[in-house]
Amino acid sequence: MNKLTELKEWDLLRRHHEEIASQHMRDWFAQDKQRFSKFHLRCGNILLDYSRNRITAKTLTLLCDLARAARLHDKIEALFGGEPVNVTETRPALHTALRDPDPADIRVNGENISLLINESTQKMRDFVTQIHHHTRTGITGKPISQIVNIGIGGSHLGPMMSTHALKDFAVANLDIHYIASVDDHQLKEVLPQINPETTLFIISSKSFSTIETLTNAHTVLKWMQDRLGPDVIRKHFVAVTASREKALAFGITEENIFPIWDWVGGRYSIWSAVGLPLMLMIGNEHYADFLQGAHEMDQHFRQAELAQNMPVLLAMLGIWYANFFGTNVQAVVPYTHRLRYLVPYLQQAEMESNGKCVALNSEQVRHTTSPVIFGEEGCSGQHAYHQLLHQGSHLIPVDFIFAGTAGETSRNLHQDLLLASCLSQAQALMCGKTYEECYKELLAAHYPQAAAAAQAHHQTIPGNKPSNILILNRLSPKSLGALIALYEHKIFVQGIIWGINSFDQWGVELGKQLLPSILKHVQDAQFDSPADPAAGIIHYLRTNTEEGDR
């Protein structure tokens, strides 16, 4: 296959960019009152308004041509068909099968995965029923009322994001806490809030060897044993892992081990038993809706034409900005407090997947890959980093996300203000404010002409900053499932275009390899070489922290 930048479709996009780069979206909207009608798309309960992008109909045609040149359709079918799309680890990436109500007869290492999925799902459902009906209790016979998830990365970000997002759908009176950091201050915050007799701990680790997770798990186990005796693990600890033997060695009983598999990546594992905290909170039926929403997005992704395919459009717009406008940052701004942990979730999903510089052919890529993902809850961001979006020297595309109130009894001022804030930010990014507009306003405010002329430069906002608006009719288990799947597939498409493996993370592994030897140096302050770059920091901390602050 030709290198990406050598494709004729790439060159056509490059020349097209030169043609329209100086044009302003403000003028396009003025010339075409139907621009929204032409550049929006609905899939289920999600509306994508992509009219505020620096694109024309020709741009979309050329972007779709590039996707075809990359044989995107074939790659999508390879993903769903269980082919080893994770080429560096020779594994499939079958997270989509976890949310398929009728998964295909796909075999991995000789095992029918549909049977494995059904067995695991039924075990989760039975466990949730036992907790909710109080037939599964703590060691003293009291019902479980608190859940603590111990995990990190994909075993933490997905459950934390989704349980906060869907609190309105809780069917059980369960308090859910998360321990991810190896900093013991997090333990000191969580443990005083829980009752040992009524708390269930979920140790979530695919390998069951992640040092942060196991360090926290051992500390918590001792804390529990000191209060309830040595047998507490039998009633108060479960494991979610692909390493059954290690969980058994830790002391987890067979019935309390929920399996995950090598063919599901950590950052795609919310659909597996890693989602147990969410299932415990929202119950079996709502959790089924969560999976169904994702499955419906899967079907849309497989079946829709490229120009009407929501994940493909999001992905190709990202390609357009990263590779032709030279952007290297993408903002995600949810205008709902319930999605305040979506950005950290997407940071892992996008940057761990596509933060690569080596192509599938083992050569260095010649183009930009994953942008830096950042953002936070919308209204807070307006009073923090939005200044950079509007007047900074960087071009930063933005995804705004808003959840409507469909099905609720009435709107209120808070929700109206949220929507108005979201729309006004998108409008300001697109339109901007010209020097002439600023100058006239200042004169009307009785500024002297010279002062107004100088001040107007500072108040001018260039506009022409691209954004998408994603509208969820309502933030529900189904719409959240669809939203997550939308971004998963967007990430996959971009990986295909860039010619990289979106399913490995070798950059994460090096730090893990270095950790044991550096930990030994930290503990004994002995170094193989005085030139070790860690030596100076460790020596400084040893000599200064002992003195304390005076």
* Domains: count for the chain: 4
Given the residues 33, 185, 383, 414, select the one marked as catalytic.
Answer: 383
Residue 57 domain flag: yes
Together in a domain, 245 and 369: no
- Give pLDDT tens digits for 34-81: 999 999 999 999 999 999 999 999 999 999 999 999 999 999 999 999
Given the residues 197, 296, 352, 376, select the one marked as catalytic.
Answer: 352
Given the residues 58, 167, 440, 512, select the one marked as catalytic.
Answer: 512
Name the token pair of 176.
Answer: 């859910």
To the question of pTM greater than 0.85 for the whole model, the response is: yes
Together in a domain, 103 and 171: yes
Together in a domain, 453 and 475: no
Q: Is the per-residue pLDDT at 206 higher than 80?
A: yes
Q: Is the per-residue pLDDT at 545 higher than 90?
A: no
Residue 126 domain flag: yes
pLDDT band at 445 (very low <50, low <70, confident <90, very high): very high
Distance CA 155, CA 268 (A): 10
Q: Give the mean pLDDT of 101-114.
A: 89
Residue 51 domain flag: yes
Together in a domain, 209 and 304: no
pLDDT band at 537 (very low <50, low <70, confident <90, very high): confident
235 catalytically annotated: no
Q: Is the per-residue pLDDT at 428 higher than 60?
A: yes
Distance CA 204, CA 151 (A): 5
- Give pLDDT tens digits for 109-119: 889 999 999 99
Range of the domain at 452: 432-465
3-state secondary structure of 408: coil
Residue 486 domain flag: yes
By CB atoms closer than 10 A (0-12, 13-18, 19+), residue 364 is exposed
Together in a domain, 445 and 362: no
Together in a domain, 330 and 421: yes
Q: Give the mean pLDDT of 391-416.
A: 88
Q: How is residue 402 annotated by DSSP?
A: E
Q: What is the CATH number of the domain that holds 399?
A: 3.40.50.10490
Instruction: For the chain, give the mean pLDDT.
Output: 95
Together in a domain, 278 and 371: no
465 catalytically annotated: no
Which phi and psi angles does 142 have, rounded to 5°? -80, 145
Q: Is the per-residue pLDDT at 408 higher than 70?
A: no
Q: Reduce the secondary structure of 119-175 to three states and give it as a string.
A: HHHHHHHHHHHHHHCCCCECCCCCECCEEEEECCCHHHHHHHHHHHHCHHHCCCCCE
Together in a domain, 28 and 113: no
- What is the pLDDT at residue 1? 47
Q: Measuring CA to CA, which residue among 189, 193, 191, 217 is closest to residue 205?
A: 217
Together in a domain, 107 and 198: yes
Together in a domain, 190 and 48: no
- Describe the crossing of helices 276-303 and 72-80 by its angle, rounded to 10 degrees: 140
Together in a domain, 514 and 457: no
Residue 204 domain flag: yes
Name the token pair of 28.
Answer: 């396009």
By CB atoms closer than 10 A (0-12, 13-18, 19+), residue 226 is exposed
> What percent of the chain has pLDDT above 70?
96
Distance CA 377, CA 369 (A): 25
- Give pLDDT tens digits for 162-205: 999 999 999 989 999 999 999 999 999 999 999 999 999 999 99
Tally Cβ neighbours within 10 Å of residue 287: 27
33 catalytically annotated: no
Together in a domain, 479 and 522: no
Residue 275 domain flag: yes
Q: Is the per-residue pLDDT at 506 higher than 80?
A: yes
